[in-house]
Amino acid sequence: MVLRLPIEATDMAGAEDFFIGAVDQGTASTRFIIYDRHAKPVASHQMEFTQFYPETGWVEQDPLEILQSVRVCMEKALEKATAAGHDDVGAGLRAVGITNQRETTVVWSRSTGHPLFNAVVWMDGRTNDICHRLITQLPGGRNHFAPSCGLPINACLSALKIIWLLENVDTVKDAVDSGDAMFGTIDTWLIWNLTGGCSGGVHVTDCSNAARTMMMDLHTLEWDAAALDALGIPISILPKIISNSETVGVIADGWPLADTPISGCLADQHAAMLGQLCQNGEAKCTYGTGASILLNTGEQIVKSTHGLLTTVAYKLGPEAAADYALEGSIGIAGAAVQWLRDALGVIRTAAEVEAIAELVENSGGVYFVPAFNGLLAPWWRDDARGAFVGITRFTNRGHIARAVLEGICFRVNDVLTSMHKDAEDYGYSEFKTKDGKLLLRVDGSATLNNLLMQIQADLSGSPVVRSADIETSALGAAYAAGLAIGVWTKEQIFASRREKKVTIFSPKLSEENREKRNESWHKAVSRTFDLADLYSE
């Protein structure tokens, strides 16, 4: 059942017109969106960039190509805004916020500004051996750093990628030894270049990106000296940690929007949480290349006992208290649909998957586990590999397409189940819907797939609420930037209901059927364990 509910709009500012820009630098593409004083988008431009796969399980990107994509998207969005009648957008754009793919690691030369290696992408699996080594060597095993950073040792985290670069790339090691190396996630790389690069660029990261490196203490929001010592990573290469909403510098000459403040920065999933206006006890899921579900736990640092991570939700100002979150990350979501298109040729476009999946009433007993590089929360099995289970002579491409969509939703449901248990343990009952389940707010381009959203509601047994604006990561970055320069207040942001409508997908599957399907799903997941050696042969 799909309902469309009106929500009263709130004026975000006074009569004076202004604009806020947001760089949304994702795993597969970059976009720049311009928002008006009501936080409504007036123009945007998006472009994809190259993904490199030098070995099985490895994923790299060119940091310079990413940087150029930001420039092009800024220029094109400004042109589109002008063509749409916003002639004053250049002069009226007050600030820029940045949101970015998390954990992706760049090391570059302080003196030349050139990358010393390609960016090692968050989903890259080359650090599995380093993970196993640390788990064996450290007294706390996989959770050795969790009391401080809230994270288990896992291949996706930035610290492991730095170690790999130090051990395998001589130019990186030499630059670190000589003091010429700088490390950053994509936010840091962009801000340093946008604010001048070698000519005075600001070397910072925000607390949400830092929270995904395995090197930041959640309690102090500073780099953890003990962790750095155990990992062998020098603090000299690390950026300063800042809040999500403060002015860090201005865009340098030679860039579009020169002299405009950069005043907001959040990692993509955290930006989406802010864009969804999630406060204490509210959960959201962003469906992108991967997927991430976060439950805001307010100022309380909650330790999960059900396979989730503890992280920062957002910190809206240098003096503001931080909100924290429980998180479950899923490595493969939209990427599974891209794989159907690019590798198997089952579909011609990503949008076509919905129509193909609707050719059948169900998946015909086929289950797809999207464990291309292992399984993240709540399983934490880097030895798992992707699998179709239950294929028969009856299976056709409709069943395959539907099983892929269901596989994404089952993985989200794995996290929601753990989240529900943790929420129950910590007394979040007042935030649940009438059926006792956490309501899930969703965003990201994949949410345009109505079938995917209905499957998600059916398999989780919880209502799924889709925003009118599905690009909430960019919106969250814009909110943070506008808040920092005072054009909006925190109260205005959280009181606003910018969307005139939301779409609610209500579950239709019976509880008995849901339980049976989840039982079969868990059997399918168990079949994917210990397949890493087979995958590499």
Give the whole-number percent of the chain exceeding pLDDT 70.
93
pLDDT at 423 over 70: yes
pLDDT of residue 172: 97
The residue whose two tokens read 């059997």 is: 523
Tokens describing residue 313: 């939700």
Average pLDDT, the chain: 91
pLDDT tens-place string over residues 490-524: 998 988 755 557 899 999 999 999 999 999 999 99
pLDDT tens-place string over residues 271-286: 999 999 988 888 899 9
Which is more confident, 431 or 403?
403
pLDDT tens-place string over residues 85-117: 887 887 789 999 999 999 999 999 999 999 999
pLDDT of residue 534: 47
Please compute Rg for the chain using Cα positions.
22
CA distance 377 to 283: 16
3-state secondary structure of 420: helix
pLDDT of residue 163: 98
Which H or E run includes 175? Answer: helix 170-178
Residue 434: count of CB within 10 angstroms of its CB: 7
pLDDT at 431 over 60: no
DSSP state letter for 59: -
pLDDT of residue 6: 34
pLDDT of residue 427: 66
Question: Under CATH, what is the fold of the domain 330-435+512-536?
Answer: Nucleotidyltransferase; domain 5 (3.30.420)
Residue 75: count of CB within 10 angstroms of its CB: 15
Q: Which of 313, 344, 326, 325 is nearest to 476 (CA)?
A: 313
Distances (CA, A) of 411 to 140, 158, 408, 535: 27, 23, 5, 21
pLDDT tens-place string over residues 158-205: 999 999 999 999 999 999 999 999 999 999 999 999 999 999 999 999
Phi, psi at residue 425, to the nearest 5°? -60, -35
Peptide bond into 41 cis (omega under 30): no
Tokens describing residue 486: 């005072």
Tokens describing residue 260: 């405009």
CA distance 404 to 415: 17
Give the whole-number percent of the chain exceeding pLDDT 90.
74
Chain centre distance of CA 200: 29
pTM for the complete prediction?
Answer: 0.88
The residue whose two tokens read 């003196």 is: 111
User: What architecture (CATH level 2) is domain 2-12+19-276+469-495?
Assistant: 2-Layer Sandwich (3.30)
For every residue of 278-306, DSSP letters joined together read: --TT-EEEEESSSEEEEEE-TT--PPPSS
CA distance 533 to 319: 49
CA distance 82 to 89: 7
pLDDT band, very low/low/confident/very high, at 433 (cuts 50, 70, 90): low
Q: What's the rounded mean pLDDT across residues 425-441?
A: 65
CA distance 245 to 478: 10
pLDDT at 7 over 60: no
pLDDT of residue 221: 97
CA distance 131 to 429: 37
pLDDT at 436 over 60: yes
Which is more confident, 208 or 373?
208
pLDDT at 429 over 70: no
Q: Which of 200, 244, 230 is nearest to 100 (CA)?
A: 244
pLDDT at 139 over 70: yes
pLDDT at 381 over 70: yes
Phi, psi at residue 95, to the nearest 5°? -160, 165
CA distance 224 to 148: 8
Residue 516: count of CB within 10 angstroms of its CB: 12
pLDDT of residue 255: 96
CA distance 71 to 64: 11
pLDDT of residue 439: 82
For every residue of 499-510, DSSP letters joined together read: -SEEEEE---S-
DSSP state letter for 251: P
Strands 440-443, 283-287: pairing is parallel
Domain 330-435+512-536 in the same topology as domain 2-12+19-276+469-495: yes
Domain ranges in the chain are 2-12+19-276+469-495, 330-435+512-536
pLDDT tens-place string over residues 31-53: 999 999 999 999 999 999 999 99
Residue 530 region by backbone torsions, left for phi larger than 0, else alpha for psi between -120 and 50, else beta: left
pLDDT of residue 421: 85
